[in-house]
């Protein structure tokens, strides 16, 4: 019997559980991950070099046990799969994917028979006048600085946004000895109150943790301001403060760094390139690859989706979804899988989904805030496109995002709309007087991230049979290519 080549993209909670599940049934998957070490973003480990010494409790707080379990399970089973770190997958074609290895600046290509995409998420941000100044960071990035490097992003950091991560990261900074200027929560009070019963019913432990962080911050006399409407980032050449409105009037905080985030957005580009059907998801307000409850993609065969890359549900859900997707893959290949375990995983995911809905009610994405970005403010930080320039395209005939992109370059830069995309959709939709789903999405383009430009001599293809794969690699590139517009 020949073993199918199963490739997993992403070594976070979903990709890790998928790999371990396949290994348990005797398959030897290849895991390609962009990071140097397994763990993903939430359970990201400090670099192997340098002798970092903080323990799991310090790094991951209440989630320490889960993080340790995920790391340990992975480390103990290293021989059961092929972990290929520092590998960016930048294009997926039927039966073959293309990648780039950061470590030695080489491109590779790899055949696949079945694919599990566990590509995760990044911060969902709302641009703000002055947000390109040095010292403004995404909320998740602010956490990465501390977790991965032991650094604060500034001497005095203000936190702006909404959602559980806002309070968690502010707490982690203060606890690590950083100075927190304040927490500015944009969520309406009424929404939080309305969502309380559902949050308490669906996930009392998570709610309790959130309230605990809040109480801890208040006990340290760290200002926590509710119902904030941010106005602008103060400062000439770098962050000097944040100005905002509250129901009681205008105010500001002095700080030299600002962390901001409003939940997360899925990294769905690879699924889209692989041919998955994309559908608008009202809960996430994002176009997402469609899948069945077990993770089978709609459209292409032998593609499975798991974790936050298919809609935000968090790390616990990602572990369940990774295992469930792997079981679906096995079942589709005729392997007898544990049906009882499948039922358990489905139930677990359904429970988390109910909680996620309550969370979205408590901390709704403030689309009106995104849509109201002043005309002069930079919206797209790669191409320096202002909100006004995007709105002007609506006056010509930009009826959807890709046309607007062609006119004004919004989302055309090297991040490919990862940062400004959600806000750009809200701005264009508001300018056209349409619901956000009516303006579509920025289409995914290969390479999904910038890679060095190679000569046209072509690249080597890895043809070796599993389980011992050898990657054929091309030589170093000469200059960087930006993503195709």
Partner 1 sequence: MTQPQFLRLAETDRTALAYELDGEPASALAGDTIMTAILTRRGHLRMSEFGDGARAGFCLMGACQDCWVTLGDGRRVRACSTLVSAGLVVRTVPPPIAPAAPASAAGP
Residues that bind partner 1 (CB under 8 A): 34-36, 41, 46-47, 49-54, 58, 102, 105, 122-123, 132-138, 140-142, 144-146, 148-155, 176-178, 237-238, 256-257, 267, 378, 381-382, 384, 413-415, 418-419, 449-450, 452, 476-480
**Which is nearer to partner 1, 140 or 466 (by Cβ)?**
140
- Short-list 202, 199, 128, CA closest to 164: 199
**Comparison of 1 and 48: residue with beta carbon closer to partner 1:** 48
Output the smallest distance, CB 257 to partner 1, in A: 7
Q: Which is nearer to partner 1, 132 or 347 (CB)?
A: 132
Q: Where are the strands (E) in 361-481, listed by range?
A: 378-380, 385-386, 451-453, 479-481
Smallest gap from residue 233 Cβ to partner 1 (A): 12
Dist. CA 71–CA 44, nearest whole Å: 10
Report helix angle 315-332 to 64-76, nearest 10: 30
Minimal distance in Å, beta carbon 134 to partner 1?
3
Four-CA torsion 267, 273, 276, 280, nearest 10 degrees? 50
The distance of closest approach from Cβ of residue 141 to partner 1 in the complex, given in angstroms and rounded to an integer, is 3
Query: Least distance in Å: CB of 44 to partner 1?
Result: 8
As given in the structure block, the two tokens for residue 390 are 């995007």
Altogether, the residues listed in the chain come to a count of: 485
Concatenate the DSSP letters of all residues of 113-146 into one string.
SEEEE---EEE-----TTTTSTTEEEHHHHHHHH
Residue ranges in 308-386 assigned as alpha helix (H): 315-332, 339-362, 367-371
Helix (H, G, I), strand (E, B) or coil at 379: strand
Selection from 139, 143, 141 nearest residue 59 by Cα: 143
Nearer to partner 1, 263 or 295 (CB): 263
> Rounded distance, CA 398 to CA 63, Å?
45
Closest by CA position to 404, among listed 434, 447, 374, 446: 434
Q: Which is nearer to partner 1, 44 or 296 (CB)?
A: 44
Tell me whether residue 42 or residue 430 sits nearer to partner 1 (CB atom).
Answer: 42
CB 378 → partner 1: shortest distance, Å? Answer: 7
Min dist. Cβ of residue 181 to partner 1 (A): 13
- Dihedral (Cα; 356, 357, 363, 364), 10-degree rounding: 130
The C-alpha atoms of residue 85 and residue 272 are separated, in whole angstroms, by 23
User: Distance (Å, rounded) from C-alpha 296 to C-alpha 461?
Assistant: 27
Q: Specify the residue, 103 or 205, whose C-beta has the smaller distance to partner 1.
A: 103
Shortest separation between residue 39's beta carbon and partner 1, angstroms: 12
What's the angle, vertex CA 237, arms to CA 236 and CA 243, rounded to 5? 45
Question: Closest approach of Cβ 167 to partner 1, in Å?
Answer: 19
Q: How far is the CB of 5 from partner 1 (least distance, A)?
A: 26
Residue closer to partner 1, measured from CB, 153 or 442: 153
Question: Which residue's CB is nearer to partner 1, number 164 or number 477?
Answer: 477
- Output the CA angle 274-276-278, nearest 5 degrees: 130
Neighbours of 231 (CB within 10 A): 17
Closest to partner 1 by CB, 141 or 210: 141
CB-count exposure of residue 292 (10 Å: 0-12, 13-18, 19+):
exposed
Assign 205 to helix, strand or coil. helix
């Amino acid at each position: 019997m020949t073993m199918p080549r199963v490739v997993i993209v992403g070594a976070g909670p979903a990709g890790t559980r998928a790999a371990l599940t396949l290994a348990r049934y005797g398959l030897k998957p290849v895991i390609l991950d962009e990071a140097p070490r397994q763990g993903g973003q939430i359970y990201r480990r400090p670099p192997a070099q340098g002798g970092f010494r903080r323990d799991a409790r310090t790094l991951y707080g209440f989630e320490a046990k889960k993080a340790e379990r995920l790391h340990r399970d992975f480390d103990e089973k290293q021989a059961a799969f092929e972990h290929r770190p520092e590998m960016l997958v930048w294009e997926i074609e039927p039966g073959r994917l293309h990648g780039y290895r950061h470590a030695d600046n080489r491109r590779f290509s790899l055949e696949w028979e079945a694919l599990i995409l566990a590509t995760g998420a990044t911060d969902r941000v709302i641009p703000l006048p002055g947000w390109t100044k040095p010292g403004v960071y995404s909320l998740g990035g602010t956490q990465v600085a501390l977790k991965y490097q032991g650094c604060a992003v500034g001497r005095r950091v203000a936190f702006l946004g909404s959602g559980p991560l806002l309070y968690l990261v502010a707490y982690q900074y203060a606890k690590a000895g950083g100075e927190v200027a304040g927490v500015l929560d944009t969520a309406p009070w009424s929404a939080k109150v309305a969502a309380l019963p559902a949050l308490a019913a669906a996930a009392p432990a998570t709610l309790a943790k959130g309230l605990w962080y809040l109480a801890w911050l208040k006990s340290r006399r760290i200002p926590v301001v509710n119902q904030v409407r941010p106005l602008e980032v103060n400062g000439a050449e770098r962050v000097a403060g944040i100005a905002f409105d509250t129901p009681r009037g205008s105010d500001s905080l002095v700080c030299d760094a600002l962390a901001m985030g409003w939940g997360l957005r899925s990294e769905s580009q690879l699924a889209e390139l692989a041919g998955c059907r994309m559908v608008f998801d009202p809960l996430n307000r994002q176009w997402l690859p469609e899948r069945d409850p077990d993770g089978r993609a709609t459209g292409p065969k032998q593609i499975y989706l798991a974790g936050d890359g298919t809609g935000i549900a968090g790390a616990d859900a990602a572990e369940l979804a990774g295992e469930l997707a792997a079981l679906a893959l096995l079942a589709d290949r005729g392997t007898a899988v544990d049906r009882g375990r499948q039922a358990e995983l489905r139930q677990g995911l359904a429970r988390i989904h109910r909680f996620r809905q309550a969370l979205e009610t408590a901390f709704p994405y403030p689309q009106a805030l995104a849509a109201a970005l002043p005309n002069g403010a930079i919206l797209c930080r790669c191409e320096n496109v202002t909100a006004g320039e995007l709105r002007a395209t609506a006056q010509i005939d930009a009826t959807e995002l890709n046309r607007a992109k062609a006119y004004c370059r919004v989302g055309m830069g090297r991040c490919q709309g990862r940062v400004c995309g959600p806000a750009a959709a809200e701005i264009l939709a508001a300018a056209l007087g349409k619901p956000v789903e009516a303006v579509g999405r920025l289409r995914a383009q290969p390479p999904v991230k910038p890679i060095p430009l190679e000569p046209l001599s072509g690249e080597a293809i890895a043809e070796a049979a599993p389980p011992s794969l050898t990657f054929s690699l091309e030589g170093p590139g000469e200059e960087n290519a930006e993503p195709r517009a």
